[in-house]
Amino acid sequence: MKRFFIIATLLAAVHARAQENVLPAPKQSGPIVIRNVTVHVGNGQVLSGATVAFENGRITSVNGAGTPAGARVIDGTGKQLYPGLILASTDLGLVEVPSVRASSDVQEVGEANPSVRALVAYNTDSKVINTLRPNGILLANIVPQGGWISGASSVVQLDAWNWEDAAYKTDNGLHIYMPALISRPRGFRALSAAGDIDPIRQGLEQVDRMKQFFREAKAYGAAHTETNLGFEAVQGLYNKSKKLFVHANTVRQMLVALDFVREFGFDMVIVGGIDSWQIAELLAQNKVGVILSQLHNLPTLEDDDVDQPFKTPAALQKAGVVFAITDEDGNTRGRNLPFNAGTAAAYGLTNEQALSAITLNAAKLLGVDDRTGSIEVGKDANLVLCSGDILDMRTNIVTNAFIQGRDVPLVNKQTQLYERYKTKYGFK
């Protein structure tokens, strides 16, 4: 047993030292110009043979003439330039190894935790983060879990020393989780001394408690004599400086969630949205956005088309719903984000619409579209230079990535091992 403990400790130490030489990039020191590149703006436009310049972390010119003095020039001939991709909902930096409880800091004890902030638990030393940038993912919305009010998410940029440096938009929205609102077979039901508990009734009672909380928080905002941290944390929902992210998948859950829009006027986004295609027009009428959590999945019902999850983005696009695509697969840990969008492009979306779902649309739903999500003058220089199609697993080869103008490293433990064994066997 002692020997096993020593071996485990040594392995943990080796793992902890991995990627120590992957450091955050320094601040942009001079102007950078990318010439003769195909620019995918993010809003549906494509510019061929264009030139993009950026300085002090901001885009200064798109297809402009001239080169600033002392500029670093990058030849983009044959390459594609994209806005930095955005992972719209993730536990990145909050969970390192899902099966190891000590590496998880994604949820608090209790059912109602509106004052919890996911940002302060964000671990910039996570080994997962460095595996995302080589696929063009530069920003992420980190989301708390647990209970029916889980707390506030924040948008982070993926090249930072600590959570303060990483913060891109702090506490951008509150997350609540809808109860299942379905009856399961008897073997799955919880039992009480009085007999079976009706899960639908129990779920609706929970929803009523949520509504009562928000009614009391609204009254608190109008007048109060003592400070209540929970009520304080949700005040931004009423003036729409924050969004309400509702985690819901079934039609029943989403219809119940729409009551929060009707009663409180919240700016709401559905997270999950597996069956959102069935009520797409209703979501559009209520100006409710959708973050589709996992495209590579089976449909909800046995009689649904087997490829329905792939077709859902096109149905939302047709109805006029603002939607984003994310990757919450526990195996890929966000790395397949561009390829999920690529699947949607094969099932009804155009390539540029699919790109918008992981760039500009995601930025809109997270409240950061004034700063990022598209390649436009004045926005942050969050850019990805790729030798092929970023949505295609075969040609997605990112050569440069810039976060706020900083040329960030595309190195991770896997690339280091690749170089190590190329050298060992004489292929370098």
* Span 201-258, pLDDT tens digits: 888 889 999 999 999 999 999 998 899 999 999 999 999 999 999 999 999 999 999 9
Determine the pLDDT at residue 282: 97
Say how many Å lie between the first and final Cα of the chain, rounded. Answer: 42
| pLDDT tens, residue by residue, 74-130 | 999 999 999 999 999 999 999 998 888 888 888 888 889 999 999 999 999 999 999
Q: Which residues of 210-238 are buried (b: 16+ CB within 10 A; e: fewer)?
A: beebbeebbebeeeeeeeeebbebbebbb
pLDDT at position 124 is 95
Could you say which architecture CATH assigns to the domain 85-183+198-372?
A: Alpha-Beta Barrel (3.20)
Q: How many CB atoms lie within 10 A of CB 410?
A: 16
User: CATH 2.30.40.10 occupies which residues in the chain?
Assistant: 19-83+374-411
Q: How far apart, in whole angstroms, are the C-alpha atoms of residue 160 and residue 92?
A: 14
Give the pLDDT of the chain (428 residues) as one tens digit per residue: 445 444 444 444 444 445 556 789 999 999 999 999 999 999 999 999 999 999 999 999 998 877 888 899 999 999 999 999 999 999 999 999 888 888 888 888 888 999 999 999 999 999 999 999 999 999 999 999 988 999 999 999 999 999 999 999 999 999 999 998 876 655 544 444 445 678 888 888 899 999 999 999 999 999 988 999 999 999 999 999 999 999 999 999 999 999 999 999 999 999 999 999 999 999 999 999 999 998 888 888 888 899 999 999 999 999 999 999 999 888 888 999 999 999 999 999 999 999 999 999 999 999 999 999 999 999 999 999 999 999 999 999 999 999 999 999 998 888 888 889 999 998 86
The ranges of the chain annotated as CATH 3.20.20.140 are 85-183+198-372
May I ask the CATH class of domain 19-83+374-411? mainly beta
Q: For residue 52, list its beta bridge partners.
A: 34, 62
Structure-derived torsion over alpha carbons of residues 242, 248, 251, 255, reported in degrees to the nearest 10: -40
